[in-house]
Amino acid sequence: MIIKIIKKFRGRLILATVFSALSSAVSIFLLAQITNNIAVTDVQQIIDSVPTFVALVILLFSVSFLSQYLLVKLGTSFVYQLRTQMLKQTSKVSYQSLEDIGGHRVLATLTTDISSISVALAILPVFAVNLATIVFCFVYLYLQSSILFLFLFFGLLVGLGGSIVIMRIGRRRFIELREKEDNLYSVFKTLVDGSKELNINKHRRDYFYQNQAQPCIEEVRSIEIRAKSYWVLSESMFSSLIFLILGIVLFIAHYYYQINAVIITSFILFTTYIIGPISFVQSAFQSLVRGRVAYNKINALNLNPESHIQINESTRKTEQWGEIRFKQVCYQYESKNNYQFAIGPIDLSIKQGQNIFICGGNGSGKSTFAKVLVGLYHAQKGEITFNNEKVTDSNLQWYRNHFSTIFSDFYLFDHVLDSDGKLVNSKEVIKHLEKLELADKVDVIDGKISSIKLSQGQRKRLAMLLAYMEDASIYLFDEWAADQDPTFREYFYKELLPELQAKGKTLIVITHDDKYFHLADKLIKFENGQIINSGKDK
């Protein structure tokens, strides 16, 4: 993905590099002009060189501004493309894979890792230009005096070797730091998700802060200090070493080779000038290393959808599909401990237009079955057929297109879409808001819900509105009535479900409300991952 982005901006990258190199070349040429005129005593000659000098300064300003502007555009474009591609790819990764990875780790990647890679990509052209500047200066110094240059070069080479050793240690610390940042994001997630409990229970809040949050933050701080200290040590050592080497070279030039003052002055000016580019290159290595660590982290998370199940992006639907059939379907959670919960083998038939209730105790397998049914989890054994067609990776999205769901841990979106994924006209929504007694709580303007800050029961009703407007063929409701008052609970079972069934919808309702079990066409009971009662079709 990153290579593709670089290739996409190859032209701009080359242009930005050319302008940056031109800026570097002009500045070096200006510096050479200054050093060449140091020994000039003819005032007229100096005056004659002023127009050229001014023109070079103007040229330097122009190319410098253009190069920086191009680099800014290039950097922001990199960030935009990388964020867009990462979000697009992550949205295509299966729910099961994201669940296994962990939300906090995905969030860390979408924020920290993208930023690190973006910085590294944006800095590459400047890094290359500074390297070129150093090479240009080396060439100029070699042409001035090959003997002095060799002393300078080998001295810098020794210093570079020491810096590389130190930076490698720093790189290991950055890898460790990135691992600990996952834990930090887990702390942040706990802080947000558990805000109610933390606000109410002071003991819980204090324990969380003192024994979970603070130690994690302190550990990240400590590792970051160590990691960056190695880079600071490397930069400081190398910068100091340059002056030491320069002093030795000048001593040798003056006492052993009797080199003239103009050449010595050139060495002083150019050597001090390249301290800036050398320092930048060293500093940039830190960003490049963090970018590389982030790149490896993304690869380790396996967020690329190409490495997961291939899902056809078809929006095709089948109006008359007849039946969903489970044939010896099994699913088992992966676990590091000895306990591995599983469901199945399941043999089951769901006919189009049926109203099916699913019951069972907590942990009996109802929700796991629901996730297998809608294609969020993939059957590890057996097969699922839909309209007499086996559900596979190639037609999974076609199968999913027929469902609209409200799980117990649902996410409430703030846009109302129809069956074609287009925003619903506000007038169509108003009557349904009134039915759900939400008309005085929220408004829908151009398909956008004005507010989703509601009670849990009201949020579920709003989720029902979104599901209703999607006009799917199959609806799955996981404990929807659990947070409703008696009036709305009765409305759900005796009015809404019959209304949907009258429209030809198939209903899968996970419920504990045994008071309404008689309304179902089929009652399925789960226990320890097994169907112990599937009832008879009415």
Domain count, the chain: 2
Residue 230 and residue 286 share a domain = yes
Residue 259 and residue 128 share a domain = yes
**pLDDT reading at 234 higher than 90:** no
CA distances to 31, 153, 186, 193, 327 from 28, in Å: 5, 18, 50, 57, 76
Residue 331 and residue 238 share a domain = no
Identify whether 226 is part of a domain. yes
Question: Model confidence over 165-207: pLDDT tens digits?
Answer: 998 898 899 889 888 888 888 888 888 778 767 877 788 888 8
Least confident of 42-56, 494-508, 510-524: 42-56
Residue 268 and residue 341 share a domain = no
Is residue 519 within 8 Å of 354, Cβ to Cβ?
no
Identify whether 4 is part of a domain. no
Assign 41 a pLDDT band (cuts: 50, 70, 90). Answer: low
Identify whether 512 is part of a domain. yes
Domain boundary among 236, 270, 303: 303
Question: Model confidence over 451-464: pLDDT tens digits?
Answer: 888 988 999 999 99
3-state helix, strand, coil in the chain (%, to 5): 65, 10, 20
Burial of 518 (0-12, 13-18, 19+ CB in 10 A): exposed
Residue 258 and residue 120 share a domain = yes
**pLDDT reading at 337 higher than 70:** no
pLDDT of residue 307: 47
Domain boundary among 269, 303, 337: 303
Residue 452 and residue 380 share a domain = yes
Residue 424 and residue 354 share a domain = yes
Residue 149 and residue 121 share a domain = yes
Identify whether 370 is part of a domain. yes
CA distance 255 to 295: 52
CATH number at 295 reads 1.20.1560.10
pTM for this model (two decimals): 0.73
Handedness of CA 364, 367, 373, 377 (dihedral sign): negative
Residue 344 and residue 287 share a domain = no
218-240 as b/e: b if 16+ CB within 10 A: eebeebbebbeebbebbbeebee
CA distance 248 to 511: 85
Is residue 400 within 8 Å of 391, Cβ to Cβ?
no
Identify whether 490 is part of a domain. yes
Residue 496 and residue 450 share a domain = yes
CA distance 53 to 49: 6
pLDDT of residue 145: 85
What end-to-end distance do the CA atoms of the chain give, in Å? 53
CATH number at 369 reads 3.40.50.300
Least confident of 135-144, 147-156, 232-241, 299-308: 299-308
CA distance 229 to 223: 10
CA torsion, ordered 113, 119, 122, 126, to nearest 10 deg = -140
pLDDT of residue 84: 81
Domain boundary among 303, 331, 348: 303
Residue 182 and residue 293 share a domain = yes
Q: Give the amino acid at 90.
A: T
User: What is the crossing angle of helices 114-144 and 43-92, to 10°?
Assistant: 150
**pLDDT reading at 336 higher than 80:** no
Identify whether 63 is part of a domain. no
CA distance 32 to 273: 11
CA distance 491 to 435: 10
Identify whether 54 is part of a domain. no
Residue 392 and residue 290 share a domain = no
Identify whether 41 is part of a domain. no
CA distance 365 to 41: 94
pLDDT of residue 495: 94
Domain of 251?
82-303
**pLDDT reading at 99 higher than 70:** yes
Assign 465 a pLDDT band (cuts: 50, 70, 90). Answer: very high
pLDDT of residue 306: 46
Mean pLDDT of the chain: 85
